[in-house]
């Protein structure tokens, strides 16, 4: 300590750095040279994890794709094949699972688009100032509810309601293949709608708010009503942002496993158009993601089943990567349209 | 004449549109409040001291489903381990992305695309990824020996589940932490640099302390995600409700417990719901109420921290 004090006193006279200064500087240049590499390694490692993920999942799925090729996607009959696989058979077709994922996700997207757009317009434009914060909190609450809780409430409320009030007494005459008991595509759509809605609402609200005020003012100055400026100016301008929100919501919907496995009946049944729209909604489904959690336990010890489940994971991975690419494209379109060159560098 | 009716129609149309937006918002708010109210109403009866302090029983009858003590411990282990494991990597990556990286550099773009894609991968795929990696014999030390002659690892344990869960929440934690670091005003950095501090010292002594509330937000959000996920836990922690040892609090049992299978609140609910094998909705509702309180507390904490952080930043 005395040495440092001395140096500090002497230093101004010599005009050079003090001892403390020197020591600090030497130490910090060392870490200054070293830290960027360490931090950069962390960043690059995090960015490349997804390639590891693709590698391992595809590698494990390889046997089933190698043996079956496209028939893995186009053939049906998952449930019986699963039974047979325990006895050594090794052919799987996941068409019904893809249909289950597609129907439940598209249905939920449609409903949550209509409902969510209403919420987003309300949040961005119509809500009085005092109501905005509470409503935003509620949307965030909804986003935070775990999927297993959605599944439990859906099972006890939605499925029970459908079984008690919507399934016709003579349903056995129309649908002969399986019993109809309330756990169905409709229940999956209802539950999924409220699971993906908050993600769409958040993105859609931000997009609507990002539309420059001058656009709206121009419309109002021309005598348009407030509602017409929303419909004719804000929505079309924010459209790419809305699409991005919808795509993100779709990605969540297609990957949802637990809630759908609880409310949709867990039977790989191909929704049958011949039964009419009501029965189609009341028939059970099984989605790709829910098939993985339902069969991912002991059945993983059977190599052929494990490969088939990894095949499903590969399909899910392909869907989610594609959707995230579309979302990135839509976001890019939106920010170019809003005149933001790159908000990251500002 | 015609233009007047047209205008009138428009006015009616716009009031209908506005009314529909109000209706949609009220419906969504009502559903959210209904879910929480329903859980409180249904779960209230199940929760008592016995429920919270006893362990789950592998049983098919409703009266003997047991309590949620080990699932609560399981959730705590999983949440803490996953966030602690990834926090150094997440903060490091966030600092690098916010402070060092040039956006025009191609590696930056690849890292960003990689993180965005990782964030969009469903959790069930992470679970399968975990099984693919950690059943490799080399990783036996994380779980136990597998059934197939011992060349493979079992691949299901608290350690495995924590690592996989950590990878799952990593992109979200990085994103929120990076935004927090970016929101620190340039003037703070310039002041520090003008005083002769090097870049890294500026980050460590000025930027990171100022961004602390935002980084805490990221951590708490990540914990909320980890506590609420079921698919990863179901696949990589095993479907068993009990832990490797009932006396998990003894230090000598810590390693076997961490290397063993178990349950968390989410898998307890999944197992005991009418859709699972346990079929005791009462216990499932009790556990769901505990879980939702935990997740809501975490999310509200994150929001409070975030507001404090953005106040400090502006």
Q: Is A226's Cβ below 8 Å from some Cβ in B? A: yes
Cβ distance of B10 and A150 shorter than 8 Å? no
**Residue A140 sits in the same domain as residue A82:** yes
The end-to-end CA distance of chain A, in Å, is 45
Q: What is the pLDDT of residue B242?
A: 76
Q: What is the pLDDT of residue B293?
A: 93
**Residue A153 sits in the same domain as residue A239:** yes
Neighbours of A209 (CB within 10 A): 15
Query: Which of A46, A40, A201, A261 has the alpha carbon at shortest distance from B169?
Result: A46
**Residue A27 sits in the same domain as residue A123:** no
Summary count for chain A: helices (H), strands (E): 17, 0
Answer positive or negative: Cα dihedral of B187, B189, B192, B194. negative
ipTM of predicted assembly, 2 dp: 0.90
**Residue A155 sits in the same domain as residue A274:** yes
> Hey, is A157 helix, strand or coil?
helix
Cβ distance of B127 and A258 shorter than 8 Å? no
Residue with structure tokens 């009085």?
A128
**Residue A44 sits in the same domain as residue A181:** no
**Residue A230 sits in the same domain as residue A329:** yes
Q: What is the pLDDT of residue A54?
A: 94
Q: Does the residue A343 lie in any domain?
A: no
Mean pLDDT of A224-243: 90
In the listed set A18, A52, A68, which residue is the last one of a domain according to the structure?
A68
Cβ distance of B23 and A118 shorter than 8 Å? yes
Q: What is the pLDDT of residue A9?
A: 40
Cβ distance of B93 and A43 shorter than 8 Å? yes
Cβ distance of B14 and A225 shorter than 8 Å? yes
- Listed by start position, the domains of chain B span 1-43, 53-313
List A residues 195-224 in contact with B (Cβ-Cβ < 8 A): 197, 201
Mean pLDDT of A143-149: 93
- % pLDDT > 70, chain A: 90
Helix axes A303-337, A19-68, angle to 10 degrees: 120
Rounded to the nearest angstrom, the minimum Cα separation between A46 and chain B is 7
> What DSSP character marks residue A270?
P
Q: Does the residue A345 lie in any domain?
A: no
> How far, in Å, are A27, A35, A333, B181, B225 from residue A38 at the CA level?
16, 5, 34, 18, 27
Q: Is A26's Cβ below 8 Å from some Cβ in B? A: no
List B residues 251-270 in contact with A (Cβ-Cβ < 8 A): 266, 269-270
Alpha-carbon span A288 to A275, nearest angstrom:
23
**Residue A221 sits in the same domain as residue A149:** yes
Alpha-carbon span B290 to A243, nearest angstrom:
36
Among chain A residues, CA nearest to B25: A119
* Statement: residue A175 has pLDDT above 80: no
- Contact list in A for residue B166 (CB cut-off 8 A) is none
Cβ distance of B129 and A228 shorter than 8 Å? no
In the listed set A48, A68, A88, which residue is the last one of a domain according to the structure?
A68
Q: Does the residue A260 lie in any domain?
A: yes
* Interface mutation target, options B121, B196, B220, chain A, most CBs of A under 10 Å: B121
Cβ distance of B296 and A141 shorter than 8 Å? yes
Q: Is A123's Cβ below 8 Å from some Cβ in B? A: yes
Q: What is the pLDDT of residue B266?
A: 92
Query: Which of B109, B247, B248, B114 has the alpha carbon at shortest distance from B174?
Result: B114
Rounded to the nearest angstrom, the minimum Cα separation between B248 and chain A is 24
- Contact list in B for residue A226 (CB cut-off 8 A) is 14
Query: Which tens digit of pLDDT belongs to each residue from A5-54?
Result: 444 443 444 444 444 455 555 455 777 788 888 899 999 999 999 999 99
Contacts of A67 (CB under 8 A, 6+ apart): A90, A91
Query: Which of B119, B227, B217 has the alpha carbon at shortest distance from B176?
Result: B217
Among chain B residues, CA nearest to A262: B275
CATH number for the domain including A160? 1.10.3720.10
User: Longest C-alpha distance within chain A, in Å?
Assistant: 103
Is A34 exposed, middle or buried, given 0-12, 13-18 or 19+ CB atoms closer than 10 A?
exposed
Query: Which of A45, A34, A17, A344 has the alpha carbon at shortest distance from B200?
Result: A34
Number of domains chain A contains: 2
Alpha-carbon span B285 to B39, nearest angstrom:
7
In the listed set A43, A68, A93, which residue is the last one of a domain according to the structure?
A68
Q: What is the pLDDT of residue B291?
A: 94
List B residues 128-157 in contact with A (Cβ-Cβ < 8 A): 128-129, 131-133, 147-148
pLDDT values of chain B reduced to their tens digit, one per residue, 314 residues: 455 666 677 778 788 999 999 999 999 999 999 999 999 999 888 888 888 888 887 665 655 667 888 889 999 999 999 999 999 999 999 999 998 888 888 888 899 999 999 999 999 999 999 999 988 777 877 777 665 556 777 888 899 999 999 999 999 999 999 999 998 888 988 888 888 888 888 898 889 999 998 899 999 999 999 999 999 999 998 877 777 777 777 777 787 788 888 889 999 999 888 887 777 888 899 999 999 999 989 988 888 888 876 665 54
Neighbours of A111 (CB within 10 A): 17
Q: What is the pLDDT of residue B96?
A: 93
**Residue A55 sits in the same domain as residue A100:** no
Query: Which tens digit of pLDDT belongs to each residue from A283-304?
Result: 888 999 999 998 887 778 788 8
Alpha-carbon span B142 to B154, nearest angstrom:
9
**Residue A316 sits in the same domain as residue A330:** yes
Q: What is the pLDDT of residue A121?
A: 95
List B residues 35-64 in contact with A (Cβ-Cβ < 8 A): 35-36, 38-39, 42
Query: Which of A151, A295, A146 has the alpha carbon at shortest distance from B274?
Result: A151
The overall average pLDDT reported for chain A is: 85
- Contact list in B for residue A152 (CB cut-off 8 A) is 269, 273, 281, 284-285, 288
- Domain hosting A177: range is 71-337
Joined together, the tokens standing for residue B268 give: 């307890």
Phi, psi of A15 (to 5 degrees): 80, -5
Mean pLDDT of A248-270: 90
Contact A95, A76 (CB under 8 A): yes
**Residue A98 sits in the same domain as residue A36:** no
Q: What is the pLDDT of residue A302?
A: 84
The end-to-end CA distance of chain B, in Å, is 55
Banded pLDDT at A190 (limits 50, 70, 90) = very high
Query: Which of A109, A108, A247, A251 has the alpha carbon at shortest distance from A188?
Result: A108
Helix, strand, coil % over all residues of chain A, rounded to 5: 80, 0, 20
Alpha-carbon span B209 to B8, nearest angstrom:
59
Cβ distance of A142 and B31 shorter than 8 Å? yes
A&B contacts, CB < 8 Å:
289
Phi, psi of A257 (to 5 degrees): -110, -55
Which numeric CATH code is attached to B53-313?
1.10.3720.10
**Residue A278 sits in the same domain as residue A312:** yes
**Residue A237 sits in the same domain as residue A141:** yes
Query: Which tens digit of pLDDT belongs to each residue from A195-233?
Result: 999 999 999 999 999 888 888 999 999 988 888 899 999
Joined together, the tokens standing for residue B232 give: 């990863």
pTM of structure: 0.88
Q: Does the residue A138 lie in any domain?
A: yes
């Amino acid at each position: 300590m005395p040495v440092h004090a001395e140096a500090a006193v002497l230093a101004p006279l010599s005009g050079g750095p003090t001892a403390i200064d020197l020591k600090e500087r030497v130490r910090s240049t060392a870490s200054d040279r070293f830290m960027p590499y360490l931090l950069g390694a962390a960043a690059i490692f995090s960015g490349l994890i997804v390639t590891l993920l693709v590698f391992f999942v595809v590698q494990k799925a390889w046997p089933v794709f190698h043996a079956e090729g496209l028939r893995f996607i186009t053939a049906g009959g998952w449930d019986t094949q699963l039974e047979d696989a325990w006895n050594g058979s090794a052919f799987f077709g996941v068409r019904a699972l893809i249909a289950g994922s597609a129907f439940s996700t598209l249905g939920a997207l449609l409903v949550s688009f209509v409902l969510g757009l209403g919420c987003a317009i309300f949040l961005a434009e119509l809500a009085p100032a005092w109501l905005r914060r509470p409503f935003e909190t509620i949307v965030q609450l909804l986003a935070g509810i775990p999927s297993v809780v959605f599944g439990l409430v859906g099972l006890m409320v939605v499925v029970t309601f459908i079984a008690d009030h919507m399934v016709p007494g003579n349903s056995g005459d129309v649908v002969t293949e399986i019993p109809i008991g309330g756990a169905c595509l409709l229940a999956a759509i209802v539950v999924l709608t409220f699971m993906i809605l908050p993600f769409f609402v958040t993105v859609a609200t931000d997009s609507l708010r990002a539309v420059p005020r001058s656009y709206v003012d121009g419309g109002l100055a021309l005598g348009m009503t407030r509602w017409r400026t929303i419909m004719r100016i804000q929505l079309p301008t924010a459209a790419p942002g809305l699409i991005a929100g919808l795509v993100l919501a779709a990605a969540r919907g297609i990957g949802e496993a637990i809630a759908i496995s609880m409310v949709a009946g867990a039977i790989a049944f191909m929704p049958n158009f011949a039964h009419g729209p009501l029965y189609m909604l009341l028939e059970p489904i099984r989605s790709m993601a829910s098939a993985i959690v339902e069969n991912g336990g002991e059945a993983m010890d059977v190599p052929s089943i494990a490969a088939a489940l990894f095949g499903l994971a590969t399909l899910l991975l392909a869907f989610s990567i594609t959707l995230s690419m579309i979302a990135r494209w839509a976001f890019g379109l939106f920010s170019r349209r809003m005149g933001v060159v790159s908000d990251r560098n500002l | 004449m015609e233009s007047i009716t047209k205008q009138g129609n428009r006015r009616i149309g716009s009031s209908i549109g506005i009314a529909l937006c109000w209706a949609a918002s009220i419906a969504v708010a009502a559903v959210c409040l209904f879910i929480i109210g329903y859980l409180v109403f249904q779960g209230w009866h199940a929760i008592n001291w016995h429920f919270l302090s006893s362990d789950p029983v592998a049983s098919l009858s409703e009266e003997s489903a047991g309590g949620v003590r080990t699932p609560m411990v399981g959730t705590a282990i999983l949440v803490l381990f996953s966030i602690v494991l990834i926090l150094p990597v997440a903060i490091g990556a966030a600092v690098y992305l916010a402070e060092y990286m040039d956006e025009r550099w191609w590696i930056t773009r690849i890292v960003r695309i990689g993180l965005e894609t990782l964030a969009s991968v469903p959790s069930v795929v992470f679970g399968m990824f975990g099984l693919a990696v950690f059943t490799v014999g080399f990783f036996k030390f994380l779980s136990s020996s597998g059934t197939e002659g011992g060349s493979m690892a079992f691949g299901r344990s608290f350690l495995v589940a924590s690592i996989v869960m950590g990878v799952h929440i990593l992109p979200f934690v990085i994103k929120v932490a990076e935004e927090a670091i970016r929101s620190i005003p340039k003037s703070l950095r310039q002041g520090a640099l003008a005083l002769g501090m090097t870049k890294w010292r500026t980050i460590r002594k000025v930027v990171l302390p100022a961004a602390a509330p935002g980084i805490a937000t990221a951590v708490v959000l990540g914990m909320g995600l980890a506590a609420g996920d079921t698919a990863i836990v179901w696949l990589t922690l095993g479907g068993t409700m009990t832990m490797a040892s009932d006396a998990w609090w003894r230090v000598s049992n810590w390693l076997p417990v961490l290397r063993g299978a178990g349950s968390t609140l989410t898998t307890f609910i999944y197992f005991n719901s009418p859709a699972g094998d346990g079929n005791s909705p009462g216990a499932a509702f009790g556990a769901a109420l505990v879980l939702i309180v935990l997740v809501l507390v975490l999310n509200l904490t994150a929001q409070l921290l975030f507001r404090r952080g953005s106040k400090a930043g502006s």
